[in-house]
Structure formats: structure tokens, C-alpha cells
Structure 1
Amino acid sequence: MTKNITSILGLTLSIVFLLLMSFSSNEELDLKKYSTEGLVLNYTVSLDGGIKDNTLASKEGNKIFSPYLGKSFVGFKEALAFKESGGNYFTVNTYGYLGKYQFGRGTLKLIGINNTDQFLKNPKLQEKAFIANAQRNKWILRRDIKNFVGKRINGIVVTESGILAAAHLAGPGSVKKYLRSYGLDNFADGYGTTVRYYMKRFSGYDTSFLKPNKKAKANTI
């Protein structure tokens, strides 16, 4: 018992001594030694807190005011546009595909656009063209969407957004062949991008906004 009391007393005196030494020091703390200037700071605060997935972009389509688009429809089309052109409305690739969503001239004619020069200079028309083409593709692929969504092909679960993205890349006919051959007929574009890749990259987005429309035209949206 005496040994325990002695040990406790010794520990207490040691703590008191250390505290007295720290308070008696007259040296000022130099905060400059602890500056964060020049350091790369990584924060772990989420940017998407409290923001819903269906946040919309501006009507012009070329200015996104939300820091988080998630799996919303706007997120779908902006992600697709970034893959196609880096989001550049005014670019033409080496194969002659035009604008933010890289449309071919033949596809543009199908949705009522014949003047490609005017199309390339008009961001609003490009946004309308994307909607019209997606609605038309959704009508063409409506049975395939019903029959294949939820199934696994080439290791990828088929989703509606994946189907529509692949149709934008390769055309609805190529997507039908891919699905109905269970992945054996896997179209690749001039850069080597495949239907399977788009199925995977753009899976799981909410494309319910798009209504199937056989006669969709950009000038009527």
C-alpha cells in the first residue's frame, strides 16, 4: 500500500514539475515555422452533400451551374459529350464528325438538319439535336431495351443509358446486332471505341427524360 502511494506521489510531482517548466518558458512560439504556404492541401469534404442527382444545367446547355450531376440525365449527356469532344461545340474531328456530340452528317439529316455550318455555330441547336437523336434511337431500340436491360453481356449489366450511348456512337443498328448476338458482333469506330465500351462507360444513368419518338426532329424540340 505504501509503495502504491509513493508511486502515485512521484508521478504527480513529475507532472507538476513539467507544467511549471512549460509555463516558466519565455520563448515565443514562431508560427512561421508552421506555415502551409506552398503546400498542396487535400480536403476530404464531399462536394455533393445535399445535392440531388436530378440537378439541371442551364437552358443553353453549355454552362453547368451544378458541381454535381451524378447519374442524372444532364450528367449522362455531359459525360457523353466530354468523351466525344471534350465538350467543345465547335470542333470537327478527323472523320468529319461535328460539334459537342460529334454528329455525322447523315444522322443530322435524319433529325432535320441539313446546314452543317449553321449547326456547328449553334450550341442550342446541338443540344436539341442530341435530344432528338436520342429519342429516335430510343424508339428504334424500344424492344431491345425491354428485352435486354438487366441482362449481363460480355461481363456488363445492360442498362438503358448504356444502350443509348452505344447507339450514339455506332447507330441503333449496330447496337441491335451487339445485343442480339450477345456481344459477339461488337462494332468499333474509327478510333477503336466499341459498343461494349460505351455500354460499360455510360451505364446506370437516368434516361427516363427521353421519350421514344420515331419522328423526332431537332427543329421541333
Structure 2
Amino acid sequence: MRKWISYFCPLIMILILTSFRFGPASELEVPATLKVSKPTPVLFPQNKTYEVKTVVNPPFLGNSYVGFKEALAFKESQGDYFVINTLGYLGKYQFGVGTLQLMGVYNASNFLNDPELQEKVFQVNVARNKWILRKDIQRYAGRRIGGIHITESGILAAAHLAGAGNVKKYLRSYGQIDFEDAYGTTVRHYMKKFSGYDVSDVLPERNARI
């Protein structure tokens, strides 16, 4: 009796496992209502808002351009491509509609649902700001203003936050004119936080657009 059990038990187990593995395909099929066939429509900006939380210790990826953009993205949105903050700023890098239009992007829904486009827009914006601020980068990078060591990456990060015009005012007033966004973040803060990254991979480009 024991020999019979020891002989047939493994066969029974194999039959049970096989029935699970090769069951009817219809049991595993995703319902049509759950399938994604096109980007999720976004009624900008009323239907979806998120409070962006500041995280003290973002992941460190070195001082390369990749480290720069990922650190900036983490500060802006914790790296979430699909977030809209309470002021209507969109995506991983928190772009406003006006800035997107300057770079040739006119559909907020498409932008929010396209991570690849968001990455392209970020790089185009860095190239654009680099051109606008090229003289200020040459003049002020390496100096200290208000106790902050000014670097190219700090200038470009501050331009992402406040716009190139406000960064010029900050630098040319030696820190006396500072910009503060609705959450209390200043040009000075970004100058300090994003100092020392290597952003030489992106070349300045006049009127850069997608």
C-alpha cells in the first residue's frame, strides 16, 4: 500500500499543477474595460490635483547631467510623470502651460501622458535657458553671492524654478532681488541645492523648441 502511494502521489501532483498552468486562456484574459488603448484624457487642470511633497533625501546619482535632472525632478514631483500640483504645474519636472507653449507643446493632456516627451521638453528648456543666461553664467559662475557658491547648474536649476528673467535679477542684484514661488521656494535655495552638477552635455540653443 505504501509503495502504491509513493508511486502515484507524484503523478497526482503533476496533474494538478498542469491543470493550473494550462487552464482555459479566457480565465486570464484582461477585460476590455480595463485595457488601455490611448492616453488617459486629462481635463486640465481641474480634475486632478496633487500636493507635491518635499523629500529630504532624494536618490543620489552623481554630479552628471543625469544626476542633475533626476535630483531636480525629485525635488519638483518625486519623479512622478503623471502628477499635477495644486497650481496646475504638470509632470515630472512641473512645467507650466505657458512654458510648454514657448517650446512648441500645446496639448497638456498629451504632454502629461508622454514621459518621453517630458524628457525632451526638459532638455530643450535647459538648452533654452542656457542660451538666455549664457552671459550671466560666464560672469557669475564661480563667485559667491549671499554666501552661496554660484555654479552653472545652480543657475539653470533656479531658471527652471523661477524663469531666466528672475535669475538675472537675482544675480545682477547680488542676491538682493529674490524670487519666491507659492510654496516658499526661492532662487537662492535652488542655487545652493543644485550647485556643482556637470551640465556641459547640454549646449545652449537660441529659441529651442520641440
Normalising to structure 2: TM-score of the pair? 0.71
Partner of 2:96: 104
Normalising to structure 1: TM-score of the pair? 0.68
Partner of 2:83: 91
* Separation of aligned partners in 1, 2:75 and 2:146: 22
In the alignment, does 2:143 pair up with 1:117?
Answer: no
* Separation of aligned partners in 1, 2:207 and 2:184: 31
SS at structure 2 position matched to 1:79: helix
Give the counterpart letter for 1:78 in structure 2: E
Partner of 1:79: 71
1:178 pairs with 140, 155, 170, which one? 170
* Separation of aligned partners in 2, 1:166 and 1:102: 13
* Separation of aligned partners in 1, 2:116 and 2:207: 20
Percent of aligned positions that are identical: 66
* Separation of aligned partners in 2, 1:155 and 1:73: 25
* Separation of aligned partners in 1, 2:186 and 2:171: 13
CA RMSD of aligned residues (A): 1.0
Q: Which has the larger radius of gyration?
A: 1
In the alignment, does 2:188 pair up with 1:196?
Answer: yes
Report if aligned partners of 2:60, 2:71 keep a CA contact under 8 Å in 1: no
Report if aligned partners of 2:151, 2:196 keep a CA contact under 8 Å in 1: yes
Partner of 1:146: 138
Aligned runs of 1:4-153 on 2, under 5 Å? 69-153=61-145
Q: CA deviation at 1:69?
A: 2.1
* Separation of aligned partners in 1, 2:189 and 2:104: 29
For this pair of structures, how many residues does the alignment match? 152
Return 5+ residue gaps in structure 1 as ranges: 1-66
Show CA shifts across 1:172-220 (max 9, x none): 00000000000000100000000000000000000001111012112xx
Partner of 1:214: 206
Return 5+ residue gaps in structure 2 as ranges: 1-58
Instruction: Give the ranges of 4+ consecutive aligned residues of structure 1 lying more than 6 Å apart after TM superposition.
Output: none
Rate the CA distance shift 1:68–1:197 in 2: closer, same or farther, 3 A: closer
